[in-house]
A = this chain, B = another copy of it.
Amino acid sequence: MISVILTGTGNVATHLFKACYNCDEIEVKQVFNHREDSLKYFADYTATTTSIEEVKDADFYLVAVSDNFTQSSCEKLKNKPGIVAHTSGSQALPEQDNSGVFYPLQTFSKSKDVNFQEIPLCIEGRSAEAADQLLKLGQLLSQNARLLSGQQRQKLHLAAVFACNFSNHMMSLSEEICRENDIAFSLLQKLILETAQKAVQNAPAQVQTGPAIRGDRETLKAHEEALRDKPNELEIYKLLSQSIKNHGNKL
């Protein structure tokens, strides 16, 4: 039986906890967090503690806390016997020996269940041995666990910001335009899902549509005019239209 101790109680920690808890070959020995109230959920299933002194010995310590605290949380565990790995896409490998990264590439919300087996797990180890052990743990949880260098992981995280965070913000601005004009945002639902499906099935640059790639100056002008009272959206509209045009010319 592989023993795991989790640090953190947020979205990533919760989903990682569920995945480990539901795996017959893994025992979640303890959940550690500085805030008592956030441990309530986990206390129904396993031991919990708010004190670093009470943290038990285990094979793995998975640190799923916000990026600002990732390195200090790993550092606190440096004298523990097992491998200490954080789950951040953007943070560097911890300095200490016997450490690694265990980065599940997915956005999580606490209320929505996910099939962890389908989530890409990006793994890095300070030593070949640590990488190997983390990969084995990862393969118990996901069918898509793989080694990725720190450099690649950070670029992947950056790529995810563009593909997911920024595209969500585009939908958010879209929803606002609909709301301000008494249009049901649900009209766009199928179009949005279709856009995402087309983008992942092809190279997205090859399926770019819209006035910018068509060089439809009349529509671009009309849209800019329609955004004259929304300077932030206007600036985004101009910059992205220009970027689409430039990329179109490179194809």
Q: In the complex, how many residues of chain A place their beta carbon closer than 8 angstroms to a beta carbon of chain B? A: 91
Q: Are B160 and A191 in contact (CB under 8 A)?
A: yes
A87 to chain B, nearest CB (A): 14
Q: Are B191 and A106 in contact (CB under 8 A)?
A: yes
Given known contacts A168-B195, A190-B106, is B67 in contact with A218 (CB within 8 Å)? yes
Contact with B along A221-249 (1 / 0, CB 8 A): 01100110000110111011001101100
Contact with B along A165-208 (1 / 0, CB 8 A): 11111111111111011110111111111111111100111011
* CB of A52 closer than 8 Å to a CB of B: no
* CB of A43 closer than 8 Å to a CB of B: no
Bound Cα distance A200, B170 (Å): 12
How many copies of this chain does the complex contain?
Answer: 2
* CB of A36 closer than 8 Å to a CB of B: no
Bound Cα distance A195, B200 (Å): 12
Q: What residues on B are CB-neighbors of A152 within 8 Å?
A: 181-183
Q: Are B160 and A211 in contact (CB under 8 A)?
A: no
Given known contacts A198-B109, A200-B189, A219-B67, is B159 in contact with A178 (CB within 8 Å)? yes
Interface residues of A in 117-170 (CB under 8 A from B): 118-120, 122, 144, 148, 151-152, 154-170
* CB of A214 closer than 8 Å to a CB of B: yes
Q: What residues on B are CB-neighbors of A189 within 8 Å?
A: 200
User: Can you add 20 more A-B contacts, CB < 8 Å, to A107-B191, A157-B219?
Assistant: A90-B219, A90-B223, A107-B195, A107-B198, A156-B183, A158-B227, A159-B174, A159-B183, A162-B171, A163-B170, A164-B192, A165-B212, A166-B236, A167-B195, A168-B207, A168-B209, A169-B204, A169-B244, A170-B170, A239-B239
13 A–B contacts, CB within 8 A, in A order: A68-B218, A148-B183, A155-B178, A155-B183, A158-B226, A161-B237, A163-B191, A168-B204, A168-B207, A170-B170, A185-B203, A192-B196, A196-B196
10 tightest CB-CB pairs across the interface, nearest first?
Answer: A165-B210, A167-B167, A196-B196, A163-B174, A162-B174, A172-B204, A171-B204, A155-B181, A159-B177, A159-B174
